């Protein structure tokens, strides 16, 4: 199994620069990546699952190519309108490292979330093909046990 993530650079909706994996907490945290706008539906289902299970998560909209952070300003503003301010720190718009992340896992950008469970700086579980399903969710619970 893969142990680490490539370096990603982004900004929380509250405006704080965030580096993955460097700025992640030591304890378990799920990273829910969405590579296109349509992935938001699958991202929502994964967020609900992790909330019910009491597992911390970050929602990580990500571009598969590098773009300057300021190019995401309008998108961030639109997201803030539809997101309560208490959740702004749990959404990290990644603008650098998307291509490397896709290559690292052999993923394709599509309409589904890609999910990674991190703990202690290492990857514990990941899901990168197709929509949320109970079997994939069970593997995250097992990895978090």
For residue 143, give the 3-state DSSP assignment: helix
List pLDDT tens digits, range 6-53.
999 999 999 999 999 999 999 999 999 999 989 999 999 999 999 999
Integer Cα distance of 46 and 125 in angstroms = 14
How many other C-beta atoms lie within 10 A of the C-beta of residue 7?
13
What's the sign of the alpha-carbon dihedral 27, 42, 3, 134?
positive
- Look up the CATH architecture of domain 8-144: 3-Layer(aba) Sandwich (3.40)
Asked if the bond preceding 66 is cis, omega within 30° of 0, the reply is no
Q: Where are the domains of the chain?
A: 8-144
List pLDDT tens digits, range 78-123.
899 999 999 999 999 999 999 999 999 999 999 999 999 999 989 9
């Amino acid at each position: 199994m893969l142990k680490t993530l490539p370096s990603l650079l982004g900004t929380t909706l509250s405006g704080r620069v965030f580096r993955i994996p460097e700025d992640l907490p030591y304890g378990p945290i799920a990273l829910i990546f969405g590579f296109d706008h349509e992935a938001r539906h699958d991202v929502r289902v994964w967020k609900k699952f992790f909330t019910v299970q009491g597992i911390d998560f970050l929602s990580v909209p990500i571009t598969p190519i590098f773009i300057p952070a300021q190019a995401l300003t309008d998108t961030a503003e639109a997201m803030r309108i539809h997101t309560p301010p208490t959740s702004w720190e749990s959404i990290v718009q990644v603008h650098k490292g998307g291509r490397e992340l896709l290559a690292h896992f052999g993923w394709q950008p599509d309409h589904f979330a890609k999910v990674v469970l991190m703990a202690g700086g290492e990857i514990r579980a990941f899901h990168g093909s197709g929509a949320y399903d109970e079997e994939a969710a069970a593997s995250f619970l097992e990895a978090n046990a």
